[in-house]
Structure 1
């Protein structure tokens, strides 16, 4: 139950799921011009805010807030996209 204060997300997605929010953050590490360093998901409103910095990087800070969760990708073994996403197919 945390939000990022005094910062603007580089991207906001509405009517989305937590799973999709996590996926967008991970994909930005491989494909995006801006890399996701953290994100906040609003469970009640189903809104995903992606940030290019961690929530406690000055001048922003983290604040307790009901119904919102803060995440930072750690890209551990279980988050390896190459292992989780289906292989790309090519038409020959």
Structure 2
């Protein structure tokens, strides 16, 4: 998907508390389907520390998609998410 080139990624978040936040990574890549959409969030990041620290956890993980289950969650994890999900695989 994006593995051939490096992209920047900005995530704008609506918080449960009613506020908003953002995180920006200056290097973002996603591997191919055959490599389980393995993600890389690297490089400099900006935003609230708790947000960027939380999102850093998603780096080096595979995307679970509607048609591919790439996580260790019992059941169908992507059904419980309301958007794209990253979850640690075994």
- TM-score, shorter chain, exceeding 0.5: no
Instruction: Name the structure where strand makes up a greater proportion of residues.
Output: 2
Q: Normalised by the shorter chain, which TM-score bucket?
A: under 0.3
Instruction: Name the structure where helix makes up a greater proportion of residues.
Output: 1
Larger radius of gyration: 1
Taking CA–CA contacts closer than 8 Å with sequence separation of 6 or more, which of the two structures ends up with the larger relative contact order?
1
